[in-house]
A and B are shown apart, each in its own frame.
Chain A
Amino acid sequence: MLEINHLHSGYNKIKVLEDINIQVPDGKIVVVIGRNGAGKSTLLNTISGLVKISSGSIMLDGEKLPPTPHRIVARGITQIPEGRRVFPSLTIEENLIMGGYLATASEIQKRTLEVFETFPILKERFHQQAGTLSGGEQQMLAMGRGMMANPRILLLDEPSLGLAPLIFTQVFELVQQLNEERNMTIVLVEQNASIALNMADYAYVLEDGKIVIEGTGKDLVVDPRVKAAYLGGVVEE
């Protein structure tokens, strides 16, 4: 269980998050929605240790998270950052090896095969530099690279950003599959609210650095405030 209690964080003098309280039970999908600049990435980056906590705490199984990003990954929390962030001059293979940095050679091999099963295109391009991939392919690589860590908790920052509908359906299916088949806990940050809320066990709405609405995914999809502000009045799809 990941617990965020009275969290405040930000950048130097800029306060972004204020008094955030979020619970992420094991094996659940928790979704955070919010507009541009609401603080969604700041939230995930604070969990990952990239942004300093000013006050409050983030606990995993009742224990404080370590202070550095790499040790947080070692505790089983991996983030797939916003905007893919693949290593452009490394090959697909090397990107995947980096994703599995903390795993043994044989685990890396096994997981690479799993990634290929999910994204066959990555197998075809194995020795190609990641910078030569299309945007959608890069998102697949970013997902695959995240899977290589086989984390207990996967943090996803707007994986649908800039993807064609067909591909992002695939991405969301994969997220659900990782949750169901591997019991992976998911924290998903999205602007594509309707799809995200429909798969959420629990969801939070972040506005201007504060949680303003929370509830089960089902509740939030029908919540009039959410409908008006995030689902464009009518439910799309």
Chain B
Amino acid sequence: MDLIEIFQQVINGLSRGAIYALIAVGFAIIVNVLKFSNFAHGGVLGISAYAGYLASSQFNLSFIPVVLIGMVTGAIVAVLVEFIAFRWIRMQKGQLVYFFVTSVTMLMLLEQILVIRFGSFFDTYPYDLIKVKFINIGELSISVTYLISLAVTIVAFGLLIYVFKKTKIGIAIRAASNDMTTTSLMGINTGMVIIAAFVVSGMMGGISGVLFGISTSLSPQIGQVVVKGFIASVLGGLGSLTGVAVAAVALGLIEVFLVSTIGSGYSPVVIFALMIAFLLLRPQGFAGVSFTDKA
């Protein structure tokens, strides 16, 4: 590989990593608040990816509205999943494993809805959704799709940081991640906090679904990319959203390099091996500081 090629791979890797970061953070928000791995997030992502696809292919909407539709769809589907599936388990104070099993079931259900509606084919977003394909700087040609994904991700993260640091409900979501019971003792309606967490998580999932759909292709199984979010949130050290985002970007970069060197067949093997090695060396993840109450 020459320098130009490496630079292009870095851009590809960063943009892929950025999308993974969105997926991972949307996934980790629910892990933090409800303490279970919510694989239904993949289904939210998949439905939103197709919503964006319909908006662009049937209604000829342009890029920004398509992303917004994906975001809104994600929020709605995530809240619906909470209402239909998780709420009942919460009411009965069910064990975490029930949440987990239910979330996997919801992922399959949402996938099946896509199969019924779209068949199990590959679709692609309209070719002209992004008009200019490449920016050429000398010998370097950079994919505009990747740059836009990167930009959208940065805006989405800016929004997320604002919500979590500056709004009362955002801080309450973080408080609930620390200690749900004590959060309720503050006069906070924890039911609303959980719904808010699903809204925020769903928005992130929706945006990531559209971006991932645009930069790859669509199939009803697109939601299974949530596994990447899962990996990143484990590597990042559950609890720290920054750690999770950093791990996701690293994962994207590593993956793009592996695919371009050893091919897409072996790269998942290497990634899982790396993940296990990393967790053996640093079980607390990238960020790995979590404060526990002092007795």
Binding site for B on A (CB under 8 A): 48, 50, 68-70, 73-74, 78-79, 81, 83-90, 94, 97-99, 101-102, 129-135, 138, 145, 149, 162
Contact = CB atoms under 8 A, between A and B. Distances in A.
A162 B293 CA distance: 13
Contacts of A86: 293
Given A89-B290, A94-B171, A83 B188 contact: no
Nearest to A137: B294
Given A88-B178, A90-B174, A90-B175, A98 B186 contact: yes
B122 to A, nearest CB: 42
B243 to A, nearest CB: 12
Given A78-B187, A97-B168, A87 B294 contact: no
Given A98-B175, A130-B291, A138-B294, A87 B182 contact: yes
A99 B175 CA distance: 11
Contacts of B175: 87, 90, 94, 98
B190 interface: yes
Contacts of B168: 97, 101
Nearest to A132: B291
Contacts of B183: 87, 98
15 contacts: A50-B184, A70-B187, A70-B188, A74-B187, A84-B293, A87-B178, A87-B179, A88-B291, A94-B174, A97-B168, A98-B171, A98-B188, A134-B294, A135-B295, A149-B187
B64 interface: no
Residue among B168, B183, B187, B295 with max Cβ neighbours from chain A (10 Å)? B187
B185 A81 contact: yes
B26 interface: no
A73 B294 contact: no
B163 to A, nearest CB: 13
Nearest to A130: B291
Given A89-B239, A98-B175, A48 B295 contact: no
Contacts of A83: 293, 295
Interface in B254-295: 290-295
Given A90-B171, A94-B171, A97-B168, A84 B294 contact: yes
A103 to B, nearest CB: 9
B172 interface: yes
Interface of B: 168, 171-172, 174-175, 177-179, 181-190, 239, 290-295
B289 to A, nearest CB: 9
A98 B183 CA distance: 8
Residue among A73, A89, A94, A129 with max Cβ neighbours from chain B (10 Å)? A89
Given A84-B293, A88-B293, A78 B185 contact: yes
Contacts of B182: 81, 85, 87
Contacts of A88: 178, 290-293
A162 B295 contact: yes
A69 B291 contact: no
Given A94-B171, A130-B291, A134-B294, A85 B184 contact: no
Contacts of A70: 184, 186-190
A101 B186 CA distance: 7
| Pairs A-B, 6 closest by C-beta atoms | A131-B291, A73-B187, A88-B291, A69-B184, A87-B178, A85-B182
Given A70-B188, A89-B291, A90-B171, 19 more contacts: A50-B184, A69-B184, A78-B185, A81-B182, A83-B293, A84-B294, A87-B174, A88-B291, A89-B177, A89-B239, A89-B290, A94-B175, A97-B171, A98-B186, A99-B186, A131-B292, A133-B294, A135-B294, A138-B294
